[in-house]
Amino acid sequence: MMAVQENSNKEGLLLEVRNLTKSFGGLIAVNKVDLKISKGMVYSVIGPNGAGKTTLFNLIYGIFPPSSGKIYFQGKDITKRRAYEISHFGIGRSFQGYNLFTNLSVLENVRIAAQSREKYNFNFFSDVTKYRNPLIKAEGILEKIGISDLKDRNPHELSHGDQRLLEIGIVLATDPILLMFDEPTSGLAPEETGKMIALIENIKADYTILLIEHKMMVVMSVSDQIVVLHRGAVIAEGTPHQIRANEKVHEAYLGGYKESDLRG
């Protein structure tokens, strides 16, 4: 494994993206993006469809290599690292689709994720009673996310909202420092969206969160900072109050939303 290149890390700075660019042929999906993510805060990335939000996540998480630019996590250059390495560095990510073992119980899904951080992670499907620590950890996470009563169910038996919660529970079981949530409320009913907001509020004291979200009510409720992408580039960054008042953002994105949608 190649040595991790160090970078000067300012106090409180967790993730830094410098001049990050990704081109697919003639299409520039991410265009010279700079980001600085500080510890203990919730950042939301917003923008119209095709703005480059998920591509940006894929670059940070090692799914795609960037065309140019650098990514630093805790002062370390992770630009060319693969997703499994980045996960072990302390970045956990949920996806727009589900990544669940539908032939295993809810508890087993979280237990396997917890076990991946133990020294015996090479033997996922051994007798679970041999691995008390991951099991206890998984039970605690299910309690935290509010679905402990569903621990013996199969994921396909869960509601759409509870499947989303389970996916976040799996991410939490990998001991992340930075959480990356890609559209966590996509397709959720209002009541389920409320549960997701409550969960984010509950866990944000313990994690730094980077969030892609289309529902402006969610963004304005949970965010400390908002980054706005348009055509792959950052056009604005600021607090929810500053983004609400930014005319350039309204022209590019927020103009289609009613004022009631923007209230946090």
C-alpha dist (Å) from residue 261 to 187, 215, 231: 17, 8, 23
Residue 119: its pLDDT value, please? Answer: 67
- The CA distance from 243 to 238, in Å, is 6
Crossing angle of the two packed helices 160-172 and 106-115, in degrees rounded to 10: 20
Q: In this predicted structure, what is the pLDDT of residue 38?
A: 96
State residue 107's pLDDT score.
96
Please check whether residue 227 is in contact with residue 27, taking contact to mean a CB–CB distance below 8 angstroms: no
Mark 196-223 as b/e (b = at least 16 C-beta within 10 Å): bbebbeebbeebbbbbbbebbbbbbbbb
Say how far apart CA 153 and CA 147 lie, in whole Å. Answer: 10
Mean pLDDT by 10 residues, the chain (264 residues): 44 93 95 96 94 96 96 96 94 81 93 83 56 91 96 95 94 96 94 94 95 94 96 95 90 61 50
Q: Return the SS3 of 104.
A: coil
Q: Which residue has the tokens 């140019």?
A: 68
pLDDT of residue 253: 75
User: What domains, with CATH codes, occur in the chain?
Assistant: 1-23+62-80 (no CATH), 90-214 (3.40.50.300), 216-264 (no CATH)
Query: Given the structure tokens 């409550």, which residue do they identify?
Result: 198
pLDDT of residue 99: 75
